[in-house]
Chain A
Amino acid sequence: MSDQLSRGRPPLAPPSRSDRSRWNWVLILPLLAVLYPPLYNRATPELFNIPFFYWYQMAIIPLSVGCTLLAYHRGGRR
């Protein structure tokens, strides 16, 4: 249906533009890291007396930021 609307008008954005990029796949990593609790559901090894369960998940936060930044800066360049 959009084709009918699109006919006879200049495109809104350059046809070459795309959000697709293989770098987008890194966005899955943080999901894999925290959505399977048996991976980290234990008390040891502790870090600064904090059980593994807690510091592991806190440590994934900067990892997820890194993945998002990768997708942001590398995405669209292909």
Chain B
Amino acid sequence: MNKMISDLAEAEEFKIGYPSVERARAINEVGAAIAHALNGPLTALLFYVGDLAQNGDQLPAGSGNGPSLKQVAANALQEAERVCFLMQRITDAFEAPLKKETAVAHGREVIRWLSRVSEEGERGFEASPVVQERLTPREREVLRLVIEGCSNKEGAMRLQISYRTFESHRAHLMRKIGAKNAVELMRLALLAPEGSLHEVPPVNDETASAIRA
């Protein structure tokens, strides 16, 4: 969640002045990521508040003239449900229709390329046309980091560039591929036919060591 908050803080800075196309895209990407990340905590909230409401009889009556704590728990659940309902609508709104078939095709190609790169390294073979012709070497590096789940700050640190530069690379390459953001790219990847994805190796050391163990 801390990563999300720092991303949000970065996005807040953009409110000053008119955002460029790249910035607007970056904000959209952050928005979609936050919307998606909220689903977990909201599920947890439904469970906790539901549990409270369910066991409302055990709550003390509370002092003063206000409503009983049981009633408060029931109210909290009702509001949590409303938030969840709104959240689903926000997530739906971020999942705007794909523009073209080409976006899907590009997504598949890019993901296949990513899986081969992580297996064999970038020099072992020729990149797919989309990656080869459309993305600069720097953008390919950025793409790999984005798919590994790096925030703009982490990615920038690993490439030793400013996070604004990283973010600009990120927005550029997403536009070239035809995906709105990393989340959409992953969705495109999931649409890829079976067999092309299951060989994608783990993307971080923790996973890698867990598999080796």
Are A and B physically bound partners?
no
Q: Which residues of B contact A (CB under 8 A)?
A: none
Q: Which residues of A contact B (CB under 8 A)?
A: none
